Amino acid sequence: MQKIKETLFQLCLSFMEQRIQTAETALNQAREASNDDTKSSAGDKYETSREMLQQDIDRNKRLLIDAQDNLRVLRSVDISLKSVKVTHGSLVVTNQGSFYISVSAGQLHVGDKTVFAISPASPIGKLLLEKAKGEGFDFNGKKYIVQEVV
């Protein structure tokens, strides 16, 4: 299971690095479009276009900052940490599926196993934190029982 945890960490790392690269590319493209936008005779149309481009730049800046923050959080995870209770960096096996408590990276596949990489700040992440083997909780009408914490 430790090997799976290491693989999940690497998959999350790749996911976050790709998000950063995508956000940087989108931000650069939005900046270039803004710089290339020339004033037309229709002033209002120009101002509307400039405002839309600025909003696009701002949105991409926020996405980039968010991705960089998530990467910093992910890099702070100690994948060798062994804990009896669920904490940041834990791989948790429940009767309803497996979860890697790290960053929100969605559904990941390691061999024939499917694991959901979730943030500890997510609704289910908050419920999983500090749970130990055998403990449970209800989420969205389903009963979750922690079967293993790695």
Q: Model-level pTM?
A: 0.81
On whether residue 84 sits in a domain, the answer given is: no
Q: Which helix (H) or strand (E) holds 136?
A: strand 136-139
Q: Please give the average per-residue pLDDT across 66-75, as a whole number.
A: 93
Instruction: Provide the strand spans (E) within 16-96.
Output: 91-94
The CA distance from 82 to 106, in Å, is 23
Pick the last residue of a domain from 45, 75, 105. 75
Q: Which domain holds residue 113?
A: 91-149
On whether residue 6 sits in a domain, the answer given is: yes
Q: What is the pLDDT of residue 41?
A: 47
Residues 144 and 104 both lie in one domain: yes
Residues 40 and 14 both lie in one domain: yes
On the question of pLDDT at 42 being above 80, the answer is no
Dump pLDDT digits (tens) for 88-146. 999 999 999 999 999 999 999 999 999 999 999 999 999 999 999 999 999 999 999 99
On the question of pLDDT at 47 being above 80, the answer is no
Q: Please give the average per-residue pLDDT across 72-84, as a whole number.
A: 88
On whether residue 113 sits in a domain, the answer given is: yes
Average pLDDT, the chain: 90
On whether residue 85 sits in a domain, the answer given is: no
Residues 66 and 6 both lie in one domain: yes
